[in-house]
């Protein structure tokens, strides 16, 4: 994939280019990311006991969020990402997790209600409203009960704002409207702020 894809009008092509490009660098931080995620995952475990549950993580990247969840003892954990380079790194870093190279806007390889919990860590803020809705539809369809979004809540640190500008993400609209978007899709929703402008959005079908 060439640099031309960074300027593509197709948001999927642009995102895949960016994430394929950064995958080897992202993978170097996988261990520290996983350690950083462990505090949020403990908060999640207070709300939903993960032990014995089946979990699907979409936009799994190098697998750090899935690996942090895996420490809580789910009965099964799988991850999907549409960047082939991210999936390659994830498989290398976390051979204990089953990863798939898949666009999460079409999870037709999984049946309805096939996982107890479906998660996405730092995926939703990166895509525009129409794609957030497609992702939520699919996450809700394959989930038996819970959809969990680990993402921006509250004040975004300056260094992150620069990265989001380069990624051309939708994080400003995400922060303004995402709670309402969730409420339109789920019977119950909850927001749990954590460290460094991140936190959990927990939605129940
Ligand atoms: C910012 S990274 C987050 C990675 C990981 N979840 C984490 O928290 O470290 C966003 C990831 O979402 C993936 N992604 C974005 N849209 C996707 C889609 N429609 N289907 C599958 N993966 C997607 C990207 O390829 C990228 O790996």
Is the separation of the CB atoms in 100 and 143 below 8 Å? no
- Gap from CA of 61 to ligand 1 centroid (Å): 5
In 10 A of CB 192, how many CB atoms? Answer: 16
User: pLDDT digits over 152-172, tens only?
Assistant: 998 888 887 887 787 778 888
Domain coordinates in residue numbering, the chain: 3-204
Whether the pLDDT of residue 6 is over 80: the answer is no
Whether the pLDDT of residue 2 is over 70: the answer is no
- Gap from CA of 79 to ligand 1 centroid (Å): 10
Q: Which ligand 1 atom minimizes the distance to the CA of 102?
A: 21
Whether the pLDDT of residue 88 is over 70: the answer is yes
pTM score, whole prediction:
0.94
| Mutational pocket test of ligand 1: of 1, 12, 15, 59, the residue with most ligand atoms within 8 Å of the beta carbon | 59
User: Which residues have any ligand 1 atom within 6 Å of their CB?
Assistant: 15, 19, 33, 58-61, 64-65, 80-83, 86, 103-105, 121-123, 126-127
User: pLDDT digits over 30-79, tens only?
Assistant: 999 999 999 999 999 999 999 999 999 999 999 999 999 999 999 999 99
- Gap from CA of 58 to ligand 1 centroid (Å): 7
Alpha carbon nearest to ligand 1 atom 10, residue: 123
**DSSP β-bridge partners for residue 203:** 147, 189
Q: Is 87 helix (H, G, I), strand (E, B) or coil?
A: helix
Whether the pLDDT of residue 97 is over 80: the answer is yes
In 10 A of CB 13, how many CB atoms? Answer: 15
- Gap from CA of 93 to ligand 1 centroid (Å): 16
User: What does CATH list as the number for 3-204?
Assistant: 3.40.50.150
Helix, strand, coil percent content, the chain, rounded in steps of 5: 50, 20, 30
């Amino acid at each position: 994939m060439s640099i031309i894809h960074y300027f593509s009008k197709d948001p999927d092509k642009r995102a895949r280019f960016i994430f394929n490009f950064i995958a080897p660098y992202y993978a170097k931080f996988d261990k520290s990311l996983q350690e950083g995620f462990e505090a949020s995952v403990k908060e999640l475990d207070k709300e939903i006991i993960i032990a014995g549950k089946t979990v699907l993580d979409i936009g799994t990247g190098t697998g750090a969020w899935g690996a942090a969840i895996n420490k809580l003892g789910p009965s099964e954990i799988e991850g999907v990402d549409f960047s082939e380079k991210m999936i390659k790194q994830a498989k290398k870093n976390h051979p204990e997790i089953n990863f798939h190279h898949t666009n999460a806007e079409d999870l037709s390889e999984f049946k309805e209600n096939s996982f107890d919990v479906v998660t996405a860590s730092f995926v939703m803020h990166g895509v525009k409203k129409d794609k957030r809705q497609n992702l939520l539809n699919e996450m809700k369809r394959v989930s038996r009960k819970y959809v969990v979004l680990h993402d921006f809540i509250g004040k975004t640190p300056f260094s992150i704002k620069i990265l989001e500008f380069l990624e051309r993400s939708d994080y400003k609209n995400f922060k303004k409207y995402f709670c309402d978007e969730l409420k339109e899709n789920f019977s119950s929703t909850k927001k749990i702020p954590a460290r460094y402008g991140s936190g959990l959005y927990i939605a129940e079908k």
